[in-house]
Amino acid sequence: MLVASCGGASPPPAAPAAPETLEARYRAPVDRVAAASREADFAWRWLEALCGGIGHRLSGSESLERAVTWAEGELSTIDGARVELQPVEVERWVRGEESLVLLGEPDEPLAMIGLGNSAGTGETPVEADVVVVGSLEELAARGDEVRGKVVLFDAAMPAYDPESMSTGYGDLVGLRIGGPAAAGAAGAVAVLLRSITADPDSPPHTGMTRYEEGGPRIPAAAITIPDAERLHRMIDDGQTVRVRLAMGARLEGTATSHNVIAELEGSERPGEVVVFGGHIDSWDVGQGCHDDGAGVVSAMAALRLIGELGLRPRRTVRVVLWTNEENGLAGARAYAAEHGASARHVAGVESDIGAAPVIALSVEHPDEARGPAALARLEEITRLLAPLGVTRAVDGHSGADLSPLRELGMPGVGMVHDPAHYFDLHHTAADTIDAVDRDAFLQGVAAMTATVYILADMETPLGE
């Protein structure tokens, strides 16, 4: 038995050591990641191979499955990685030939692109007068005016606000997704949509539309900003605007696609997983670089860098290259159904907003009570990433492919690439590798690698 000497009092117990800060633990690894990413020529070669070599990758297409095979092969070269393909049944939508003509003396062809999953016109093109509306509410208010007409949704997307990082896309995308169904229900015979972009020089933008079960399926296409404004002015001036729309779009049943999954096992908590990635499919125009080849390759490169740098986080890091994000989210749902309960997903990270530099991280926690703690921890991580140019942490959307896992309780983190010009290219023929800045892309690789590593290694999971 120990007793105090000389009758004195026992010394007070030592204060517990202060917990190690993220800055102290991860500054050196983040600096290593930043240096290695700047020299990651393999990542740029991967982007060239995916986008320039394979090109666009529509769900159900042979080109998408070539991309799946390619990604599986490259991920299999990472030492220690376990790689698998998860089969996913997807709807096969085919665009077919399409055209739009402004009828007059003479007739004038207009640039257009059919919306994804749109119905076609069949063997006989649609020919009808155009009526302009600015919103779904105005459509409902116009009543019988739209019956038998082609509805032109002409709503302008506002200029990008760098302070709020608001693009205005979320306010307008409902016109594309639900506008054709609503117009069909009102008796319209087709829809034209002013492309959802603020860039008047941008080519027409495609993107998914959705019909109501059992409701009318009318053809729908997007046109350029200048053409939408011109048709609108002509109608305001009292002219009758009549168009002829031909679309060979059709559904051809289903096809088997695949999620590509690769992981490095955690050193201490292998049953806890940080999942990260992007979607490997794209629309059938351009090369799908900003949407979402850059996100896909950034995730692949992050897994390789974590392995090559010997970082070995506590938790398992798992790349998922989701299929069918653009027109169905079948890949995300299939992954959550098969893997969501087989491991504890402590966080998800998604990159799906282009290849510009990452300027912020967004967090979306399904438990509102834990949201503030998750945001505070993300702010700590952004301080580590500040030398890369990542300076903000915000509450916000983390990514569509993470949504089924968020419904199971997983917090999501979005890589917020500078969105100032993303919607100039989004879903267009202009989304090619020529529009990607190499240094900006590699900065995104560094930001994703560092974020994933910290989330997978820090003692307490995000938001706990």
CA atoms within 13 A on the CB side of 5: 0
Cα angle 428-432-435, degrees, rounded to a multiple of 5: 105
β partners of residue 114: 221
Report helix, strand and coil shares of the chain as percent, to nearest 5.
35, 25, 40
Residue with token string 């994804």: 116
Q: What residues contact residue 43 under an 8 Å CB cut-off, 6+ apart?
A: 37, 297, 298, 300, 301, 441, 442, 445
The catalytic site residues sit at 325
- The Cα 63–Cα 56 span in angstroms is 7
Whether omega before 106 lies within 30 degrees of 0, making that bond cis, reads: yes
Instruction: Name the strand (E) or helix (H) holding 242.
Output: strand 242-247
CA atoms within 13 A on the CB side of 80: 17
- The Cα 58–Cα 155 span in angstroms is 27
β partners of residue 318: 263, 275
Q: What residues contact residue 184 under an 8 Å CB cut-off, 6+ apart?
A: 191, 211, 215, 216, 217, 218
CA atoms within 13 A on the CB side of 169: 20
